[in-house]
A and B are shown apart, each in its own frame.
Chain A
């Protein structure tokens, strides 16, 4: 069965600080990995995704994530956060299933990031 674990539930940073949010997954086969962001009162939006190829992927708004297969990890990073990055961040995974398709998309518990000016 697939599962996703996010290590930090709440993170508080000052503007310009660096950010790293941890994400580990459990699945024995090929996976697609995602980070989504949810701004207050809004729906989830895709930040970045990993399907294959270069394990360092770049997304919108200066975010990037690195897939480390040996550690089953897909940590999110940003060198310098802004107040507008205040939001909840979700890591998600779906594993390759039968018939060439992918299984259900499973989300981690989320990390609430608060950035202070």
Chain B
């Protein structure tokens, strides 16, 4: 059963610390999305990649967030330094050519 895998599932960190979230997309999917979900803002698109190339990261705060795809099996989202307002659930999703997205279980980030 193909699935998107995200690690860690939960992360609690202190303000100012670096946080790295990882995503393994479904094998063969060429597009990877990073979303952030909060009660106030709902589901926000942070960045997405196609064939490992970044296509749009306009949803990310550039000064502290960065997203990369070092290879086809790994996408990373990094926050440095983290702030309490970054507390949210971060979802990764991958899609094939037609665009049906499969979501990972999410990383619940709490910055204290």
Q: Do A and B come from one complex?
A: yes
Q: Which A residues lie at the B interface, using CB under 8 A?
A: 32, 34, 36, 42-46, 49, 51, 90, 92, 94, 101-102, 104-107, 109-110
The closest CB in chain B to the CB of A102 belongs to: B99
Q: How far apart are the CA atoms of A94 and B103 in the complex, in Å?
A: 16
Q: Are B43 and A46 in contact (CB under 8 A)?
A: no
B38 to nearest A CB, angstroms?
12
B49 to nearest A CB, angstroms?
10
Q: Are A104 and B103 in contact (CB under 8 A)?
A: no
Interface of B (DSSP majority class): strand
Q: Are A104 and B98 in contact (CB under 8 A)?
A: no
Number of interface residues of B (CB under 8 A): 23
B87 to nearest A CB, angstroms?
16
10 A-B residue pairings within 8 Å (CB atoms): A32-B98, A34-B101, A36-B103, A44-B101, A44-B103, A102-B97, A104-B55, A105-B45, A105-B93, A105-B101
- A32 in contact with B99 given A104-B45, A110-B43 (CB within 8 Å): yes
Q: Are B104 and A105 in contact (CB under 8 A)?
A: no
Which one of B31, B48, B56, B100 lies within 8 Å of A49 (CB-CB)?
B100
